[in-house]
Amino acid sequence: MYFIAENLREKFDNISIDVSFECEKGTMTSIVGASGSGKSTVLRLICGLDKPEPAQKIILDGIDITGEKPAKRKIGMVFQNHSLFNHLRVDDNVAYGLVSSGMRKKEARIVATDFLKAFGLAGFEKRYPNTLSGGEAQRVSLARTLIMKPKLVLFDEPLSALDAPLRKKLASLILTLQKTFDFTGIMVTHDINEAKAVSDKIILMKNGKIFWSGKSKDFDEKMMEDDFNLQI
Ligand code: ADP
Ligand code: MG
């Protein structure tokens, strides 16, 4: 298996999170659950932003990355609020990781400018994030993550802040990018229809635990009734 996460655990006053799952290479897995069910915490544990419990084990592409620093994991992350650096031009935002890993700024800008074209953002390189629409900012954010060639990309509600037509567009862009850049993806969402549209596998979370997981095509709407309420 390409990605294995065992015993992703974290305890807070009101919830005890405990999740294990696997993903095949080149697939998209959606983690779906109500607000507060522990989805973002699971992503933070995967990318190494939260402290692991001793039983935790994370394998990516045959390599045990459990104790590895976040920057060394070859995991990219895209957030809902895109978290671009507002004081940096678009090209410098996209080039940021390259510069951090030793590439000279001038060269990194050229690579970033070329890279932006694949995201429909040619000519945007000198703009600043506060001049971009929500959809444009999210595409810059995707470019900034993918330029580092991550093996695994984590998306935390990347479409939630956008309106419905734009969400559809960006969801299909994410699928296209996945084929182009050949990454494995895990996307958190509270929208089951979005999950079904983009993912091969669905994991339903409730109160910090996995409630159901399986292929998207085997997902049954009945699971959403009664005790599993995804409305927020
Ligand atoms: P989701 O992304 O599904 O909305 P989160 O993983 O953000 O859920 O959070 C799950 C629950 O864990 C939250 O309801 C919150 O009560 C608790 N929690 C998350 N982070 C912290 C923290 N740093 N301190 C205390 N409680 C936290
Ligand atoms: Mg969250």
Q: How far is the CA of 232 from the centre of ligand 1 (A)?
A: 15
Q: Is residue 174 part of a domain?
A: yes
Q: Which residues surround ligand 2, an ion (CB under 5 A)?
A: 40
Count of domains for the chain: 1
Q: What is the pLDDT confidence band of residue 232, given thresholds at 50, 70 and 90?
A: very low
Q: Is residue 186 part of a domain?
A: yes
Average pLDDT of span 12-29: 97
Q: Is residue 127 part of a domain?
A: no
Position with higher pLDDT, 29 vs 161: 29
Q: How far is the CA of 12 from the centre of ligand 1 (A)?
A: 7
CA nearest 184: which of 24, 1, 21, 17? 24
The whole-number pLDDT of residue 226 equals 52
Q: Is residue 83 part of a domain?
A: no
Task: Evaluate whether 2 touches 184 at the Cβ level (below 8 Å).
Answer: yes
> Does pLDDT of 85 surpass 70?
yes
pLDDT tens string 201-228: 999 999 999 999 999 999 887 776 655 5
Structural domain including 157 reads 3-74+150-222
DSSP category for residue 108: H
- Whole-structure pTM over 0.95, yes or no? no
CATH code of 32's domain:
3.40.50.300
Q: Is residue 136 part of a domain?
A: no
- Cα angle 209, 215, 217 (rounded to 5 degrees) comes to 125
Which residue has a Cα nearest atom 24 of ligand 1?
12
The whole-number pLDDT of residue 228 equals 54
Ligand 1 atom nearest to CA at 44 = 6
Q: Is residue 206 part of a domain?
A: yes
| Strands of 34-183, DSSP E | 57-60, 63-64, 75-79, 152-156
